[in-house]
Amino acid sequence: MALISLRQLLDHAAENGYGMPAFNVNNMEQIHAIMQAADACNSPVILQGSAGARSYAGEPFLRHLVLAAVEMYPHIPVVMHQDHGSEPAVCFRSIQSGFSSVMMDGSLMADAKTPSSYEYNVETTRKVVELAHACGVSVEGELGCLGSLETGMMGEEDGHGAEGVLDHSQLLTDPEEAADFVRKTGVDALAIAIGTSHGAYKFTKKPTGNVLRIDRVKEIHARIPTVHLVMHGSSSVPEDWLAIINNYGGDMGQTYGVPVSEIVEGIKHGVRKVNIDTDLRMASTGAIRKHLAENTANFDPRKFLKEATKAMSGICKDRFEAFGCAGQASKIKPVSLEVMFGEYKAGKLDPKVS
């Protein structure tokens, strides 16, 4: 059984200089697509479930789908991660459900809409870290609010659109504050705000360094070099899938995502986890639209769902290869959460912040 913690995987990624895509999952086809791609290129996997995924599939279904992936691919290390926990109770329930990693997103209040105070973020995140580490489970925190530096609008998080226009001090993580946050909370990984946002509509034109601040990643990494950085809202919004969706009856506006080359630059400077949801949504929608348009007599969902799986798998393979995690799965020796607990207790995994 190769269910491992996020901390183990990201430590391995840091030691070996690669990054990991973390794909959002809601159903069997997405999990099939990710696992088939990982199997083909010998990559470890992070499967993450949002609150939206839990309410769509139901907690037992989501859990058993991930466990089925672990059973079917015993040679692939899998992290089962809970995305954007809006309050500690969400994280605790995920730990109870068997997740090996949780995210406490204290950058927003429990309504997942209102930006929180720094003190609130520290306190709620610290509380989750204390309990999660006692179970050997990893914790990702978030500092700074995801949102567009073009418009000041936050992206959607877990199905809720945060309200109002934010200023740049809220939309960009401060390196000094990041160091203080890590020291006070003990998080294993830190999601940072650098101008990315959730969903397909991230940038109105190909992003420049003014709106996608990879320079800020470098500054944060220089300040806290041993902390694993996480980029949310990091779909690349593939132009080919956008065109296929629109050519087969869809109506998506022109939009731009985060270029893979910029993510790769981030990976050179401490980014270890890259959250991707929209790209798989677009690939599956495009593939299904195309299949149904070209096969009007078909009424067997397996046929178009297979096309969707193939399309999503193609994106996964591209990211595994670009981020350098292809070829790494067989090099990882799974460590149990029980052993991780012992390491936390012994202080061996304490963040190093000067």
Ligand X SMILES: O=C[C@H](O)COP(=O)(O)O
Smallest separation, CB 157 to ligand X (Å): 5
Is 215 in the active site?
A: no
Please give the full DSSP string across 134-201, using - where no structure is assigned. Answer: HTT-EEEEEES----TTT-B--EETTEEPPSB--HHHHB--HHHHHHHHHHH--SEEEE-BS--SSS-
DSSP letter (8 states) at residue 275: E
Catalytically annotated residue among 83, 158, 174, 188: 83
Give the one residue of 159, 259, 327, 334 binding ligand X; rule: CB under 6 A: 159
Which CB atom, from 2 or from 238, has the smaller least distance to ligand 13P? 238
Cβ-contact 244, 290 below 8 angstroms: yes
x/- map, 249-288, ligand 13P, by CB under 6 A: --------------------------xxxx----------
Pick from Zn ion, ligand 13P, ligand X, none: which does 159 bind, CB < 5 to 8 A by kind?
A: ligand X
Q: Does 107 bind ligand X (CB under 6 A)?
A: no
Q: Tokens representing 10?
A: 């990201």
We find the least distance from the C-beta atom of residue 152 to ligand 13P, in angstroms, to be 18
> Which tokens is 94 given?
């995920």
Q: Which of the stretches 94-102, 136-144, 152-160, 293-301 binds ligand X when contact is defined by CB under 6 A?
A: 152-160
CB 179 within 8 A of CB 187: no
Segment 254-313, which members bind ligand X (CB under 6 A)?
Answer: 277
Phi/psi for 43 (5° steps) reads -110, 145
The DSSP annotation for 25-55 comes to --SHHHHHHHHHHHHHHT--EEEEE-HHHHH
Closest to ligand X by CB, 138 vs 328, is 138
Distance CA 263, CA 102 (A): 23
Residue 158 interacting entry, from Zn ion, ligand X, ligand 13P, none, C-beta within 5 to 8 Å by type: ligand X
- Asked if 233 is part of the footprint of ligand 13P (rule: CB under 6 A), the reply reads yes
Under 8 Å between Cβ of 34 and 25: yes
Give residues with Cβ within 8 angstroms of 257, minimum separation 6: 200, 202, 203, 234, 235, 236, 237, 238, 278, 279
89/104 Cα distance (integer angstroms) = 10
Q: Which position among 52, 106, 186, 266 is part of the footprint of ligand X (CB under 6 A)?
A: 52
Residue 52 contact partner, candidates Zn ion, ligand 13P, ligand X, none, CB within 5 to 8 A by sort of partner: ligand X
Instruction: Please tell me what DSSP assigns to residue 224.
Output: S
**Residue 105 binding: pick among ligand 13P, Zn ion, ligand X, none (C-beta 5-8 Å cut-off by kind):** Zn ion
CB-wise, 152 or 159, nearer to ligand X? Answer: 159
Binding site for ligand X (CB under 6 A): 24, 50, 52-53, 83-84, 157-159, 198, 277
**Residues lying near ligand 13P in the complex (CB under 6 A):** 24, 83-84, 198-199, 232-235, 275-278
- Residues recognised as catalytic: 83
